[in-house]
């Protein structure tokens, strides 16, 4: 009887904790999604309706807002293409070269190994705004204004991504696997590209999402470098739309453009999240 009572009590305790956990997860999910709902809700309303106050019922002005946005003075499609080019290039280069740097620090032994690791982490403490003036002077001297190169190439050096990859590599990449590849005659680049990089797929997916979103939402540096309308990214165009004068300002158009700019980010997350879940599942099966 005591054993059965203990099992029943333990089972009840697990059920209660499970109910609490699911309740908290549902509440957190709703808190995260409510802002997206408000955004897409406001995208369906006109400027006059938005001035009258908030409502939970969608309106019927979504098509009008989209028509005004795409047939306005701002090059929205060019901005979308520019943001896609910069963000995808930054995400790929950042994750690839950060993983390669982490691989070099993790696998190879050399005299300045600890110093290099510490030095890279020290760079994390320097804010972007501190180096903006010197960076702009360098861009002007190299005549790279209105070019995507200053927005893409610097993302290769990403200390935060490197640190994450290094920690993940220490947990998942045994050195014996690298030694086995070398014994089989594989070169260093082939070992990295064919064995190490695919093994890091879940971590690469996580950092690719973070890098893509950071680059996609970046306004500060692009606003200093990009001046031509056909070169500007979506955050700059959104800022221009919000700073329009009183006669041209349309809050419904602003909301629909923000909603329009979010869809690619959601799409990238849905695609890469499969790699994250697949990697976690694979790791659980191996464990």
Read off the pLDDT of residues 193-228 as tens digits, 9 standing for 90 and up. Answer: 888 888 888 889 888 988 999 999 999 889 989 989
Across 12-32, average pLDDT: 87
Across 239-258, average pLDDT: 80
The whole-model pTM stands at 0.82
Contacts 24+ apart (CB under 8 A), 185-192: 192/100, 192/103
Joined together, the tokens standing for residue 263 give 């869809």
Q: What is the pLDDT of residue 285?
A: 37
Higher pLDDT among residues 236 and 14, named by residue: 236
Across 81-102, average pLDDT: 93
Q: What is the pLDDT of residue 72?
A: 80
Q: What is the pLDDT of residue 84?
A: 94
Distances (CA, A) of 152 to 40, 84, 144, 191, 217: 30, 12, 12, 26, 14
Q: What is the pLDDT of residue 202?
A: 85
* Predicted confidence (pLDDT) at residue 284 exceeds the cutoff of 60: no
């Amino acid at each position: 009887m005591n054993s059965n009572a203990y099992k029943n009590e333990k089972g009840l305790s697990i059920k209660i904790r499970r109910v609490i956990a699911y309740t908290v997860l549902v509440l957190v999910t709703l808190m995260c999604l409510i802002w997206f709902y408000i955004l897409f809700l406001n995208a369906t309303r006109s400027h006059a309706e938005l001035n009258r106050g908030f409502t939970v019922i969608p309106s019927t002005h979504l098509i009008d807002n989209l028509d005004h946005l795409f047939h306005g003075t701002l090059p929205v499609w060019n901005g979308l293409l520019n943001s896609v080019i910069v963000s995808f290039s930054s995400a790929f280069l950042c994750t690839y070269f950060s993983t390669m740097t982490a691989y070099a620090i993790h696998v190879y032994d050399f005299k300045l190994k600890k110093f290099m690791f510490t030095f890279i982490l020290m760079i994390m403490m320097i804010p972007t705004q501190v180096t903006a003036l010197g960076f702009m002077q360098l861009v002007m001297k190299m005549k790279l204004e209105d070019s995507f190169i200053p927005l893409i190439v610097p993302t290769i050096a990403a200390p935060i991504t490197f640190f994450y990859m290094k920690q993940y590599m220490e947990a998942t990449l045994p050195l014996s696997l690298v030694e086995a590849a070398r014994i089989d005659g594989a070169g260093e680049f082939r070992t990295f590209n064919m064995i190490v990089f695919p093994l890091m797929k879940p971590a690469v997916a996580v950092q690719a999402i973070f890098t893509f979103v950071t680059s996609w939402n970046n306004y500060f540096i692009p606003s200093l470098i990009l001046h031509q309308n056909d070169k500007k990214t979506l955050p700059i165009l959104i800022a221009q739309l919000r700073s329009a004068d009183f006669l041209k300002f349309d809050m419904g158009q602003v909301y629909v453009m923000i909603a329009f700019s979010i869809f690619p980010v959601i799409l990238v997350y849905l695609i890469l999240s499969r790699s994250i879940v697949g990697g976690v599942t694979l790791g659980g099966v191996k464990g």
